[in-house]
Amino acid sequence: MALWGITGFHLGVTSPQCVDSQHAMSGSRNGEGFPSYLRNDKHSSPKRWVFILYDQLNLSLIPFNDEDPTETGLILIESIAKGTSRPYHKQKIAMLISNMRHFAIEAQEKGHPVSYIMTEENYSVTLQNLGSLGIIHTIRAAEKSTRDELSPLIDSGLLIEHPHKGWITPIDWFTEALGTKPPFRMAPFYQKFRQETGILMDGSKPIGGKYSFDSENRSPWDGMHDLPDPPSYCKDSIDREVEELVNSKFEEHPGSVDLSAQPTTIGQANDALDYAISVLPLFGKYEDAMTTKSRGLFHSRLASILNLSRLLPMDIVDRVLSTDAPLNSVEGFIRQIVWREYVHHVHVVTDGFQNLEVNRTFNTENDAGWWKSERNGVYPKLNPNHLNQNRKLPIAYWGEKSGLNCLDQTVQSVMEDGWTHHIPRLMVQSNIASLLDVNPRELTDWFHASFIDAYDWVVEPNVMGMGTYALGDSMMTKPYISGAPYINRMGDYCKSCSLDPKKTCPISSLYWAYLERHKSAFEGNFRMSMPLRTLSKRPENKKINDRILFDSVYESLSAGRVWRPDGSQTL
């Protein structure tokens, strides 16, 4: 077992505090780094030890939390094997590690003994080498990949699994509303949630006369309000140490690190919630808007820490309900929280889509083209692929310029921040990949690696079920695809693009070429009947041009060349 070391040192030490970004601590005490901020709990003898995963960083989740915290020791494992299992964005790795380290200190301050392990090994190997601690308790993992890894240890009795208390909705609400077999639809589950909780309800009726105000969440950006600056957080010495670690240990990974852009302490997590509340009033109206002037507009940016459990969803909902924000903002926000619960249930019920009857294709690698997956292990080979789309993800998705300003702008956001809000994800990145017949697993792996809030239970339903049509009608009645008019209407990317959305932009031609290739798969789908009728009237010469553009755009984006309508291409 290759351990970096089991900490800690120095009794009674508290977390380093950052006064502001200019006066944050420049180094750790005695030059010992993060371990010097932890109390030495090597000789503690709590009644039991609980293994806390990277996405369970909330004291409320800990089993036995009604007892004296000194009786429950916590094990946290920083695993290089986990970090290198995919080409995770540097910012994602850094945010996760720094939050784990700060959580360890916070837990000690509440009285919990902590064993913080830094290792090159995976979780299961590391836990098996902790036999001297006896039986270890754990909380049910949210990610299927981690559940699968820990399952043999649970079966053997080394680990005792406890329920995850961080979800708002029990699985029963999902199965009572939707059953256990597709098609799954959000609306009945959302209504079930509202009825069971009484949230935004007036007796048995929804406040405002309807459950969803989605039709009031679709205004394009009109420049009528000041755009908020993204939140910023001061970095302490732990943050800086993590940044150095990631830049050295994960040097080959994409993206860059700047922990001033992400909360890493519980205090900063609460500051992030304050920011979300401050932008909530305008969130509803501009929920679907896109603009080059702001990557986040009025979105909360809470998903990254919500998915680490730094904040729990019900606490966020309670805070949102206490505001006087407009109903379309409050309802739209809560619907997003419930969508998160919904996709989690879908992923659990289908065992990560393993028991779903859907067309599948064989994938030889699952790294979205960044590196060969064989270097880090074997991933599932047969993946959902309803439309049999098998092209490789173009390297334009890793930051090479494509000439399509909407794609280039949103990919740049991902490469720099590890984040965009949901409409660029759905209607630019996923849309263009779908129109180019990119293999859904390749696109899913790109999202999984590149986004700071992506974990298998949330990214796979969102990309395979909604961003692409890989699951057929299991989650969606139709594919979420569009031509240039939607992107032009909802964003201002076209205004600063060298391509004219009506004359030279190829996205609408890609849309028609997609429909022509897959029209047989959509026969009988009433929601696709209108575009298919329009397609049938499209002149043959335009269909031929659509096919030519489809090949031309894909070739350029895959080769890292800027696409030009006149056929000239630049590197």
Mean pLDDT score of the chain? 93
Residue 94 has pLDDT above 70, yes or no: yes
Which is it for the CA torsion 166, 171, 172, 173, positive or negative?
Answer: positive
Do 317 and 344 have their domain in common?
A: yes
Please check whether residue 355 lies inside any domain of the structure. no
> Does 246 fall in a domain?
no
Q: Are residues 400 and 537 in the same domain?
A: yes
Close Cβ partners of 179 (under 8 Å, ≥ 6 residues apart): none
- The domain total for the chain is 3
If asked whether residues 427 and 526 sit together in one domain, one would say yes
Instruction: Give the model's pLDDT for residue 3.
Output: 38
The answer on 193 and 130 residing in a single domain is no
Looking at the structure, do residues 332 and 196 belong to the same domain, yes or no? yes
pLDDT band at 529 (very low <50, low <70, confident <90, very high): very high
What is the per-residue pLDDT for 376? 53
**At 379, is the pLDDT very low, low, confident or very high (cuts 50, 70, 90)?**
low
On whether both 78 and 111 belong to a single domain, the answer is yes
- Whether 264 maps to a domain, the answer reads yes
Shared domain check, 199 and 140: no
Over residues 191-202, the pLDDT tens digits come to 999 999 999 999
The CATH number of the domain holding residue 510 is 1.10.579.10
Model confidence at 266, in pLDDT bands (50, 70, 90)? very high
Other C-beta atoms lying within 10 Å of the C-beta of residue 223: 9
Given a cut of 90, whether residue 446 has pLDDT beyond it is yes
Instruction: Choose the final residue of a domain: 349, 371, 402.
Output: 349
Instruction: Look at residue 5 and tell me whether its pLDDT is greater than 50.
Output: no
Indicate which CATH number applies to the domain containing 90: 3.40.50.620
Is residue 293 domain-shared with residue 152, that is, in the same domain?
no
Q: Detail the DSSP E strand segments found in 27-164.
A: 48-52, 72-79, 114-119, 136-139, 159-162
pLDDT band at 21 (very low <50, low <70, confident <90, very high): very low
Question: What gap in Å lies between CA 397 and CA 445, rounded to an integer?
Answer: 12
Residue 240 belongs to some domain of the structure: no
Residue 451, domain member (yes or no): yes
CA separation (Å) from 46 to 116, 126, 243, 319, 485?
15, 20, 33, 35, 62
Each residue's pLDDT tens digit, 309-343: 999 999 999 999 999 999 999 999 999 999 999 99
Environment class of 92 (CB within 10 Å of its CB; exposed 0-12, middle 13-18, buried 19+):
buried
Per-residue pLDDT reduced to its tens digit, 70-93: 999 999 999 999 999 999 999 999
476 lies in which domain range? 360-559
Say whether both 335 and 430 belong to one domain.
no
CB 482 within 8 A of CB 512: no
Domain match, 500 and 481 both: yes
- 178 in the same domain as 47: no
Which pLDDT value is given to residue 380?
Answer: 63
Q: How many C-beta neighbours within 10 Å does residue 191 have?
A: 15
* pLDDT at residue 118 greater than cutoff 50: yes
| 429 within a domain of the structure (yes/no) | yes
* Cα–chain center distance at 511: 26
Rg (CA), the chain: 24
